[in-house]
Amino acid sequence: MSAFYTTLIIAFVSAAIATVIGTAAAIAIQGMKQKWKTMYMGLTNIPMMNAEIVMGVSLMLLFIAFHMTLGFGTILIAHITFNIPYVILSVLPKLKQTNRYTYEAALDLGASPVKAFFKVVFPDIVPGVLSGFMLAFTMSLDDFVITHFTKGPGIDTLSTKIYTEVRKGIKPEIYALSTIMFVTVLVLLLLINYSPKEEEETVVRKKKVRKPSRVKKILIQRVVPVTICIVFIGGGFYYAKENDVMNGEKLVVYNWGEYIDPEVLTMFEEETGIDIVYEEFETNEILYPKISSGAIAYDVICPSDYMIQRMIENDLLSEINFDNIPNLKNIGKQYLEQSRQFDPENKYSVPYCWGTVGILYNKMMVDEPVDSWSILWDPKYKDNILMQDSVRDAFGVTLKYLGYSLNSIDLDELTEAKNLLIEQKPLVQAYVIDQVRDKMIGNEAALGVIYSGEAIYTQKENPNLEYVIPKEGSNIWIDSWVIPKNAEHKENAEKFINFLCRPDIALMNFEYITYSTPNEAARELIEDESIRNSEIAFPDLSKYDNLETFQYLGTEADQVYGDLWNKVKSS
């Protein structure tokens, strides 16, 4: 309901403001000389001619340049901006049909310019103004791309909410919402198109038509519309203030999709009185630009090892005050030691989850031993292979298969990996992230590259699934909590990290997300011995000498990886 209400508020407020500005602009343009009119109409058409993604990115960069924090206000400004041209184009044709001499005559008869406009001109252009408002309202209601680029944490419209949920896997709630939206639109269309004209005409002929009183006319034409506008516009700004994450006891969390037990968030809020604004990301590469831009003030985030290293090198993280995290004692020393690979002094991060990357395969669909990455290039499994839609994961798999380091910066090795990925592409059913879990559970694919934590969950749901770390080696990773330098609630962030390090809380998380916990006290609380000693959840790392942790390779290497990945995806 929050996303629905936000959508309506933004649509109505932006449409109302755009209608006022657009109508005034149309009047100004109508009174200009032809050359100026042509120039301003050309400028008016730009937002409509540009691709939405260009408009969205441009506005986002503009807000960042003016050091504006992305949130409700920036979405509202963006929607007003792209709505104004639609209002102008709706009002201008009506203005051209008006007779300017009637306006001048009203002035000659002693009417003020404002009164002359509302008494003489405005009644003639009302249809255009209403059309402009409805068009602006509809465009705002329907927008996704521009909203996606200009929204901040805790703010979701229906379009962005549905997009986020679908990326994680379609749930019953989405089906229900889609049904409600479809039925609502259908009912409105039926009501609009149903008009018993003959019956109405008969009733009108029989009844004596009474003109409404002057008071009633004023109420209908002025008081009611103004009241509605005040309620919605005032409600919009009140809503924006209430949802401003910069105020009060708040905590803005940015985490991977479905990477924490929702009950844990509720317990933290109840125990501390701190309200959590929770956002999710899909890849480290999506996370980084939001943090580096400084446009969104997240308080605590959960990047992976190599991304933490990159953020430290670019001075984007704040040192953690470990006096506020006494529960750090529950984290195993080996995980803190492993963290030194990306956080040399252990000053910026606290381990949250760890694991490996391997192959998940369906025993009913794969009839041969799986122990090598090579099976992902077997034509026999065409359209039955799922690959990770992440540049480092995809290249990491391929580099390991070729016998190279997954942190390679050798252009020849990377080019060879790129060519191999292009060769594999016709065999791949889809490049996915969270969806690999649901597809494998549903027997929609035979093979998938997956994180070990997801493998544990899938095996519970589908006993025909098996997980293996290929003999060529793979990635061993750690996701850790860190605090961005521009965090507005640093103490709350440290309370949150300390809360998550409690054994009972860490156990709740493990049982919900099934990703390996570095919390040794929590592992001892696991009742199921087969899980506590699982080779998937807690593998004996001494058996593997070819597992690597991703390293940050520098800006130039990132560019090379990105360019090569784009060539793979566009091939």
What domains, with CATH codes, occur in the chain? 2-156 (1.10.3720.10), 245-571 (3.40.190.10)
**pLDDT at residue 520 tops 80:** yes
Report d(CA 341, CA 512) in Å as an integer: 28
Report d(CA 28, CA 37) in Å as an integer: 9
Helix (H) / strand (E) element for 436: namely helix 435-441
pLDDT band at 249 (very low <50, low <70, confident <90, very high): confident
Choice between 67 and 232, residue whose per-residue pLDDT is larger: 67
Residue type, 163: Y
**pLDDT at residue 217 tops 60:** no
Strands 474-481 and 465-468: unpaired
- Tens-digit pLDDT profile for residues 114-141: 888 888 888 888 888 888 998 899 899 8
Give me the pLDDT at residue 209, please: 46
CA distances from 51 to 65, 344, 460 (A): 21, 44, 45
**pLDDT at residue 307 tops 90:** yes
Q: Angle of helix 122-142 relative to helix 72-97, nearest 10 degrees?
A: 150
Residues 6+ apart with CB under 8 A from 264: 500, 505, 508, 509, 512
Q: Classify residue 376 by its DSSP letter.
A: G
Strands 447-451 and 385-388: parallel
- Tens-digit pLDDT profile for residues 49-58: 888 888 988 9
Residue 355 exposed, middle or buried by CB count within 10 Å (0-12, 13-18, 19+): buried
Report d(CA 213, CA 215) in Å as an integer: 5
Give the count of beta carbons closer than 10 Å to the beta carbon of residue 367.
Answer: 8
pLDDT band at 216 (very low <50, low <70, confident <90, very high): very low
pLDDT band at 245 (very low <50, low <70, confident <90, very high): very low
Map residue 358 onto helix, strand or coil: strand
Report d(CA 361, CA 272) in Å as an integer: 43
Give the count of beta carbons closer than 10 Å to the beta carbon of residue 430.
Answer: 15
Q: Within 13 Å, how many C-alpha atoms sit on residue 121's CB side?
A: 25
Choice between 533 and 154, residue whose per-residue pLDDT is larger: 533
**pLDDT at residue 46 tops 80:** yes
**pLDDT at residue 32 tops 70:** yes
Report d(CA 231, CA 411) in Å as an integer: 61
**pLDDT at residue 227 tops 60:** no
Give me the pLDDT at residue 331, please: 96
Residue type, 117: F
> For 357-386, what is the mean pLDDT?
94
Q: Is 67 left (phi over 0), alpha (psi -120 to 50) or beta?
A: left
Tokens of 462: 């589908």
Instruction: Tell me the DSSP string of 443-504.
Output: T--SEEEEEHHHHHHHHHH-TTEEEE--TT-EEEEEEEEBEETT-S-HHHHHHHHHHHTSHH
Q: Classify residue 389 by its DSSP letter.
A: S
Report d(CA 478, CA 356) in Å as an integer: 9
Residues 6+ apart with CB under 8 A from 420: 377, 398, 401, 402
Average pLDDT score, the chain: 86
> For 298-325, what is the mean pLDDT?
95
- Tens-digit pLDDT profile for residues 499-512: 999 999 999 999 99
Residues 6+ apart with CB under 8 A from 222: none
**Measuring CA to CA, which residue among 90, 86, 95, 93 is closest to residue 18?**
86
pLDDT band at 219 (very low <50, low <70, confident <90, very high): very low
Q: Is 143 left (phi over 0), alpha (psi -120 to 50) or beta?
A: beta
Give me the pLDDT at residue 422, please: 96
> For 478-482, what is the mean pLDDT?
97
Residue type, 515: Y
**pLDDT at residue 415 tops 50:** yes
pLDDT band at 246 (very low <50, low <70, confident <90, very high): very low
